Structures are given as C-alpha cells and as structure tokens.
Structure 1
Amino acid sequence: MLLVSIPDIGAVFGTYTYLASEVAFGVLAFVFLYRADALRRAGVTVAALYPIAYIWDWYTLTIGVFAIQLRTGVDVLGIPVEEHIFMVVVPALVVAFHETIHEQD
C-alpha cells in the first residue's frame, strides 16, 4: 500500500481552513457551471435541496454526530456559516460535473 503525505492546510489557514476549502470548491463549481451554461439549473437544485440539507445539518450537529474543527466560529441560524456554504457548494458542484460531462449529449 502506497501512503502519500497530505499537506496540512490547517497550519496555513487555521480557523479559516473550512471556509477556505468551501470557497475553493465553490469557485470550481462556479467555473464549471458557467462553462456549461448551467448556473440557473444549479440555482434551482440548490434552492430545492437547501431546506432539507439545513434541517439534516442542524439535527446532526445538535445531537453531536460530528464536530467541526478549524472553522471561524460564526454561526447563522444555529449552524456554522461554513455549513451553509457547504450546502450550496456540494449540490452546485454535482450539477456542474453532471452538466459538464453530459454537455455533448
């Protein structure tokens, strides 16, 4: 088994590590969505999924399923601001890859 050392970006970004990673992946999603002319489709998908994702996230954080390290400590509506960004970035990135892969169809 080959083990590869992964750089510790937490040492660089500290409490902004989670936020920085969400911004980086958000930019990637935006570029792919723009390229595939799918910004509106992604927006509709994000809007449809966001309420469900919010409830799920709030619940799992409330009961202690996971703890988020290396975050800013800023909460909005009971959950970390980074989680709100995550709930936008993940479905946007999925739509971005789907649209990019299937833009020739």
Structure 2
Amino acid sequence: MKVEEEYTSDICALCGWPINKPITKKEAAKLISGIIDWLNNNKSLTKNLEKKIEKFGKGELYICRYDFFYLIKDIIECENEEIAKKFENELASKYEFYGGIIS
C-alpha cells in the first residue's frame, strides 16, 4: 500500500510558513481600499504610493497576512517614514500582529 501525504495548506511566498488560504482577490481589494482610505485620511497618499499599493489588489496573494502588513508598511516607509511608523503602531496594535500567528 502506497501512502501519500497531501498538503492541504499553501505556504507564504515570502516566509514559507503555511497559510490557511491565500488572500482572495476580493479580500485583497478590500484591504487595499482600506489602506488607501487610511493614507488619504492621514493626508499621506501620493499618486506614486497609491499606484504601488493598488497592484496588490489585482489577484490572489499567496502571502500570510503578517507579511502582507509588513510589505505594505515597507512600501509606505519608502515614501514617508513617519506615516509608516504610525501605520505600524495603529494597525499592529489593532490586529495583534506582535507576538501572534497571523494566517
């Protein structure tokens, strides 16, 4: 009898950790929309930044939510370090990214 292992979870494209499921196109678009609104409300949205961030809302993302958060933060940080820190502080505390497993 041949035994085959079946992996039911995908892995994050950045860190390689298992993820329950990829971020769907719909979820990605919703997250990106919220991030763009947040940046706009903080008067920190530039055309260049918006263009870079919107690219993530065009399809499924095989990335854990933890890495997604930090990838967006790093993109923001390239434009504005102060607003990136505010983004990190507000969202990390709200969604408990520190010290937890995010999937």
What TM-score do the two structures reach when normalised by structure 2?
0.32
What TM-score do the two structures reach when normalised by structure 1?
0.32
More helix per residue: 1 or 2? 1
Q: Which structure has the higher relative contact order (CA within 8 Å, separation 6+)?
A: 1
